[in-house]
Amino acid sequence: MKTWSEALKDGLISGSLVSVVSTAVLAARGRSESGSGYAPINAVSHWFYGERAARQDRPSARYTLPGYMIHHGSSLLWGVVYERWFGQRAERWEVAPALTGAVAVAAIACFVDYKLTPERLQPGFEKRLSTPSMVLVYGGVAAGFVIRGLLSSLHKSR
């Protein structure tokens, strides 16, 4: 298991990858379901702007930027958790345990997001996406976790 210092350093990278991958899934599913790739990202800014944020379809500094920043910050937090518990598995190219850990941390993140967090501070994606799309988003979270470690192990083997 990594030290907290190692997990923080690597979690900043893997969390950023999680943010990019899951945002791409959010945008693709938003475009498919609501005609707007920005809608699910804008919905996150309901933390500040209430329900009107979930009705925004266009990119804007008011809704899109805070929505993405909140999502990115959450991704960083979960990236550190993943790296602490499972990051070394991916670095050692132990793909099955690394992926299993990624799915477990993504599931924990989803549970925390929707069962332990007050509605006002939940992600907000669910306001614009179906349940199957939400599964894909959290699948993107899991995929994003393992990318840094696998790439790191490939880089070290050269």
- Within-domain flag for 119: yes
Taking each helix axis from N to C end, the angle separating 64-91 and 95-111, rounded to the nearest 10 degrees, works out to 150
Q: How far apart are CA 32 and CA 30, in angstroms?
A: 5
53 is a domain residue? no
The helix, strand and coil proportions of the chain, stated in percent and rounded to the nearest 5, come to 80, 0, 20
What is the residue range of 30's domain? Answer: 4-34+71-157
In a domain, residue 50? The reply is no
Structurally, the chain folds into a number of domains equal to 1
Cα 1 from chain centroid? Answer: 22
pLDDT tens readout for residues 11-59: 999 999 999 999 999 999 999 999 999 999 999 999 999 999 999 999 9
Q: Would residue 29 count as lying in a domain?
A: yes
Tell me, yes or no, whether 62 lies in a domain. Answer: no
Instruction: Look at residue 56 and tell me if it is in a domain.
Output: no
Whether 158 has a pLDDT exceeding 60, the answer reads: no
Is 58 part of any domain?
A: no
Q: CA 39, 124, 66, 148 torsion: positive or negative?
A: negative
Residue 102 belongs to a domain: yes
pTM of the model: 0.93
Instruction: Report the percent of the chain where pLDDT is more than 70.
Output: 96
Task: Write down the pLDDT at residue 120.
Answer: 93
